[in-house]
Amino acid sequence: MTRDIDAATLSASQSAAIHPVLFVELLFDGGAVRFHSELGEIVTGGNTYTGTGRLGSVSPVQEDTELARSTLSLSLSGLPTDIVAAVLNESFQGRRATLSLGYFDTANQLVADPVVLYRGRMDTVSIEQGQDLTVTISVESRFAAWDRPLERRYNDADQQARYPGDLGMQFVEQAVNKELFWGITAS
């Protein structure tokens, strides 16, 4: 997959002393939860990310030339309680998750906008209580949805549920058993 990496980020990634920072964005019904692997708050792309000091672990990002599903595993520990509460109390399955990578300069300032490493949908969450609370989130690529059947019915009831007031499917059910005479006059 080709990525647009600006010159400042590319230069920072190739310098002798690098200072990478990971950004995670989890979108829930109640709003987005954003955090990063350093301390303090960082504003990038118009969004504020809360620092956790550490993220735990991130599995390697897998990419190939095939259109196949890949899974990313985020193990998050040392999270603030509001983030843990959002993960525990919100509906998470199928919600978007994004992992990005940025770099700090020698003055601990973000060099440029972070580069998206992985974007997918949250699938499963497991919680482990040890010395620290660890939340592991499995994120599937968008290709995982290709295995799932579409839950769409082409009838008036389904159309009204999706687009109230739309009459485009109003007569579909009547047309199923309708006998049509083409090129013949009915007697």
DSSP-derived secondary structure for 39-104: SSEEEETTEEEEE-S---EEPPPP--SS----EEEEEEES--HHHHHHHHHS--TT-EEEEEEEEB
Could you give phi then psi for residue 88, rounded to 5 degrees?
A: -75, -35
In this prediction, residue 45 carries a pLDDT of 86
| Nearest residue to 44 via CA among 107, 102, 108, 121 | 102
DSSP lists the bridge partners of residue 32 as 27
Give the residue-averaged pLDDT of 34-61. Answer: 82
Q: Is the pLDDT of residue 142 over 90?
A: no
Give the residue-averaged pLDDT of 128-148. Answer: 73
Report the percent of the chain where pLDDT is more than 90: 3
Who has greater pLDDT, 33 or 77? 33
Label residue 72 by pLDDT band (50, 70, 90): confident
Structure tokens that stand for 182 in this block:
């083409």
